Structure 1
Amino acid sequence: MSGQNASHPVSDDDITPLQQMVSSCSGAFITSLLVTPLDVIKIRLQAQKNPLFKGKYFVYSNGLMDHLCVCENGWSRAHGHFSGTFDAFYKIVRCEGIRALWSGLPPTLVMAVPATMIYFTGYDQLCAVLRRRMGEQAHWAPLLAGGIARVGSATVISPLELIRTKLQSQKQSYQELSHCIRSAVEAEGWWSLWRGLGPTLLRDVPFSAMYWFNYERSKSWLCEHYQSSEATFSITFSCGAVSGSVAAIVTLPFDVVKTRRQVQLGELQASNLLSKSSSSTFSVMRRIVAHDGFKGLFAGFFPRLVKVAPACAIMISSYEFGKSFFHKHNQERRLRLLQTNNT
């Protein structure tokens, strides 16, 4: 991304950090609108609980508590248990309406701008510095810069992501959510708003490190293969999709744990279900494996993969396009200034 290789002439020295921020935001809104339904389905699949009580059915299961209704006439208005991605899509739309697929969109949009600005701009700035200092080992710079930039962005927006996860995992009003959060803060302190940050970092830091490393390497290889002096839209789009897919598969178990821990907000003060020692990332993993088997760690595999691939492709393509636009704009402005000075 930083333009220090021959395959990509756009250098970060040619554009300002503000222009990098604007470039990073252009795809954030589009990406959020397109992938939020897949995120809702993924979270519902990850958060649901398995056991059903005889004579009763789940209205929906959100990982916080089981909402039950008695089936008196042989027909149930409940979702039931989601057996897969398409089953979840059908039942959510049938029971809650099409708008439910965009639940949690406002905090998603609020998250997208600061998270994207911190993440992408931080990555570019760090990568440029590391490449200058690492010399012959500069090909490792994207891996380090991606991981470090992700720590900063994930920590800043963690409370907003928790709110989004709660809205997507359970149909509730903002007033109910506000009461739930206030109760959690009173009972557990402000740190409760960062619930799930540990597994989020375990998921996102290696994801970003792998993503940027694979993206930069594959982009350079394709540019050399097609003898292109500049990464085209198709190259950035395909490299972003493939790199994001690989990273998403490897880090999916931590995504499942993050979802399980975040949807528990508000449950802990009602019943002492989890202790500090038993709510660690790997303790949650052991419980998931014991209850659902090893496949439980990969719940929501398909919607996460379908979400991440286009999201990464759209985001990186729009970012690269924005940087190229500002790069050419700055060059033209400098050229006009030179012409003015000469005359």
Structure 2
Amino acid sequence: MGKKSDVDPVLHLVGGAVAGAASCVLLQPLDLIKTRLQQDIYQRKTLGDLSTKGARALSELTIWTTFRKTVQNEGAWGLWRGTVPTIFRNVPGSALYFMTLDQMRTGLRKVNMVTANHGIMKINEGTVNLIGGAAARGGVGFLLMPLMIIKVRYESNLYSYSSMWEATRSIMKEGGIRAFFYGFGATALRDAPYAGLYVFFYEKSKELLHCETLIVDGLAA
């Protein structure tokens, strides 16, 4: 594979930040509905109501009913509750992820060049993408885990926090600094492999599409 073009890390940082902000604003309603639906289902199951009425109420919990309930109780703007903490997490998260991913892959390619000069087996480009994507997501995820905890708590209607600061103080009071990292292990096990595979298949798809384009152009010539 040929040498990759060098791109200023700042461009990855800015591009990631803009993409993160846009996705936050556009998709926050879906994120909020997911959080509310999951917590409602968990509550109903925890209460252990096995009656016919309880089972029917559980079956009626859907994306649509959660959406309608949120709008009825909080208005249309209620769908964007939690946008600010989401932005605080996703904008720097996306920016750092794309910059870290670029630096990780650049570093792994340099290691390949050094090992090749010493006759040591080098890792292929697919493995570079796999490791780079997973490591970047795991590292950035750890740094931003506290913001994820605050975001989920703030979106939830179980706590009804009036501000992010109130949510932060409540979490700190409950479990100290460690409370801001609860669930990181499970999150990393989900996000790191996902990110590694995502980058791997993304780059492979580009290669395949590029080959297909060359073939089509060659036939058309």
Q: CA RMSD in A?
A: 2.7
Q: Which residue of 2 aligns with 1:102?
A: 80
Match of 2:137 among 150, 155, 162: 150
Q: 1:50 aligns with which of 29, 44, 52?
A: 44
Alignment pair present for 1:113 and 2:91:
yes
Pick from 204, 224, 237 the counterpart of residue 211 of structure 2: 224
| Superposition map of 1:183-262 within 5 A | 183-227=170-214
Match of 2:20 in 1: 28
Change beyond 3 A, Cα 1:50–1:206: same
Displacement of 1:187: 4.2
Deviation track 1:22-63 (CA, whole Å, cap 9, x = no partner) reads 122221111111111111111112222225779xx9xxxxxx
Corresponding position: 1:41 with 2:33: yes
Give the SS at the match of 1:130. helix
Render the CA deviation track for 1:183-204: whole Å, top value 9, x for unaligned: 4423422111112212111111
Structure 2 distance, partners of 1:87, 1:137, is 49
**Is the 2:89–2:144 contact (alpha carbons within 8 Å) kept by the matching residues of 1?**
yes
The structure whose residues are more often helix, as a share, is 2
- CA gap of 1:183–1:40, structure 2 versus 1, over 3 A, is closer
215 and 182 in structure 1: CA distance in 2 versus 1, 3 angstrom threshold: same
**One-letter amino acid of the counterpart of residue 95, structure 2:** M
Mapped partners of 1:184, 1:19: distance in 2: 35
In the comparison of the two structures, how many residue pairs are matched?
196
Once residues 188 and 136 of structure 1 are traced to their aligned partners in structure 2, the CA distance between those partners, rounded to angstroms, is 43
Residue equivalent to 1:122: 100
Where structure 1 has 5 or more consecutive residues not aligned to the other structure, the ranges are: 58-79, 229-343
CA–CA separation in structure 1 for the residues paired with 2:4 and 2:109: 15
In the alignment, structure 1 residue 172 sits paired with structure 2 residue 160: yes
Match for 2:14: what amino acid? V
Give secondary structure in 2 for the equivalent of 1:174. Answer: coil
Q: TM-score, normalised by structure 1?
A: 0.52
Gaps of 5+ in 2: 113-121, 216-221
How far apart are the structure 2 equivalents of 1:198 and 1:88?
A: 29
Alpha-carbon spacing, 1:85–1:132, altered in 2? closer, same or farther (3 Å): same
Using the TM superposition, give the Cα deviation of residue 143 of structure 1 relative to its aligned residue in structure 2, in angstroms: 0.6
Q: Which of residues 122, 128, 131 in structure 2 aligns to 1:141?
A: 128
